[in-house]
């Protein structure tokens, strides 16, 4: 199953052109939802105003080389490894989910556009990556959902409590889960179940990408920008209009060591 392109089998009943059109529609929904959210919530205005304030408060002018180095370092360390979460379970769960989702989405595009259709060969590598991405997304996502959410692990809310902010992670988990089950049932010729989970897979994608405006989907674009701006502000001395760190830190005593810190 892992080496089989599920979209190639699906091409017997749905044309590759229709699949490609669906992916393009999902991309359009991401762009439209993010733009509308930015306009409504004025996120872009906030970032521009914050950048202007930082420029006026800067004590050092950064050269192109320094800015490039800071941006590259931020992309590799802060964004690529979610270092702001510290070392621990939450960071590992986020990394699994993040890279699993990237693999899942990227391999979906490659399989549909390059390896699905009449006369197209199968790519075992991309098929494996598609399944692996979905599995990693499920591992990181379900680990986060059941055990690591702040309102569950620290505020004693039940894991099945759902709020609007959970739309993104639940829709993402639904996509990965239904995608894997659809691939399995299709591979084993369980066609009635295959059609059911294909419908659920398509529906969860529509909810995920069509619900960008209402979910935390757009935060994937905001957080990298905020991390870069923060590191640039520290380097040029503006520090987002915050005071510099104290020369002598507070002495908390041994009491602070009694409980391991949790990074949220």
30-74 tens-digit pLDDT: 888 888 887 877 766 777 777 777 666 777 777 788 778 888 887
Q: What is the mean pLDDT of residues 8-34?
A: 89
Asked whether residue 198 is assigned to any structural domain, the reply reads yes
Identify the DSSP state of 258.
G
Cβ neighbours of residue 53 closer than 8 Å, sequence gap 6 or more:
238, 241
Tokens 């988990």, located at residue: 173
Res 264 pLDDT > 90: no
Asked whether residue 258 is assigned to any structural domain, the reply reads no
Q: What is the mean pLDDT of residues 124-143?
A: 91
Res 252 pLDDT > 60: no
Say which range, 13-22, 96-105, 120-129, 211-220, has the weakest mean pLDDT.
211-220
Query: 191 versus 196: which is more confidently predicted?
Result: 196
Asked whether residue 77 is assigned to any structural domain, the reply reads yes
pLDDT of residue 85: 64
Asked whether residue 75 is assigned to any structural domain, the reply reads yes
- Grade residue 83 by pLDDT with cuts at 50, 70 and 90: low
Q: What gap in Å lies between CA 93 and CA 244, rounded to an integer?
A: 33
Res 174 pLDDT > 90: yes
pLDDT of residue 261: 58
Identify the DSSP state of 249.
-
Identify the DSSP state of 61.
P
**121 alpha-carbon distance from chain centroid:** 30
- Grade residue 262 by pLDDT with cuts at 50, 70 and 90: low
Structure tokens at 3: 């080496």
- Grade residue 253 by pLDDT with cuts at 50, 70 and 90: low
Asked whether residue 188 is assigned to any structural domain, the reply reads yes
Res 133 pLDDT > 90: yes
Asked whether residue 261 is assigned to any structural domain, the reply reads no
Tokens 């701006």, located at residue: 229
The model's pTM is 0.77
Tokens 């992670």, located at residue: 169
Count of domains for the chain:
1
Res 190 pLDDT > 80: yes
- Grade residue 9 by pLDDT with cuts at 50, 70 and 90: confident
pLDDT of residue 218: 72
Asked whether residue 259 is assigned to any structural domain, the reply reads no
pLDDT of residue 13: 86
Q: What gap in Å lies between CA 243 and CA 237, rounded to an integer?
A: 10
Checking 123-128 for CB contacts under 8 A at 24+ apart, the result is 123/5, 124/3, 126/5, 127/2, 127/3, 127/4, 127/5, 127/6, 128/2, 128/3
Query: 76 versus 183: which is more confidently predicted?
Result: 183
- Grade residue 94 by pLDDT with cuts at 50, 70 and 90: confident
Cβ neighbours of residue 187 closer than 8 Å, sequence gap 6 or more:
1, 4, 6, 9
Which of the given ranges, 21-30, 57-66, 119-128, 214-223, has the highest pLDDT on average?
21-30
Cβ neighbour number for residue 204 with a 10 Å cutoff:
20
Asked whether residue 244 is assigned to any structural domain, the reply reads no
Give the domain range for residue 73.
6-235
- Grade residue 105 by pLDDT with cuts at 50, 70 and 90: very high
Structure tokens at 113: 């556009």
Q: Compute and round to an integer the Cα radius of gyration of the chain.
A: 22
């Amino acid at each position: 199953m892992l080496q089989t392109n599920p979209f190639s089998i699906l091409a017997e009943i749905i044309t590759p052109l229709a699949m490609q059109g669906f992916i393009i529609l999902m991309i359009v929904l991401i762009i439209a939802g993010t733009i509308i959210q930015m306009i409504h919530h004025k996120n872009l205005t906030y970032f521009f105003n914050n950048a202007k304030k930082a420029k006026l408060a800067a004590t050092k002018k950064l050269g192109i080389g320094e800015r490039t180095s800071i941006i590259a370092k931020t992309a590799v360390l802060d964004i690529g490894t979610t270092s702001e979460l510290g070392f621990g379970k939450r960071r590992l769960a986020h990394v699994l989910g993040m890279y699993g989702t990237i693999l899942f989405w990227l391999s979906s595009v490659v399989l549909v556009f390059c390896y699905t259709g009449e006369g197209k060969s199968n790519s075992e590598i991309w098929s494996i990556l598609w399944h692996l991405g979905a599995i990693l997304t499920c591992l990181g996502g379900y680990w986060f959902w059941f055990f690591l959410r702040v309102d569950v692990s620290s505020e004693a809310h039940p894991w099945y409590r759902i709020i609007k902010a959970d739309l993104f992670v639940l829709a993402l988990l639904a996509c990965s889960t239904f995608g894997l089950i659809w691939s399995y049932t299709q591979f084993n010729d369980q066609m009635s179940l295959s059609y059911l989970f294909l419908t659920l897979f398509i529906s969860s994608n529509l909810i995920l990408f069509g619900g960008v405006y209402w979910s935390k989907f757009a935060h994937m674009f905001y957080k990298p920008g905020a991390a870069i701006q923060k590191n640039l502000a520290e380097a040029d001395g503006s520090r987002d209009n915050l005071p510099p760190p104290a020369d002598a830190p507070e002495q908390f005593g041994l009491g602070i060591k009694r409980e391991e810190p949790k990074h949220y």
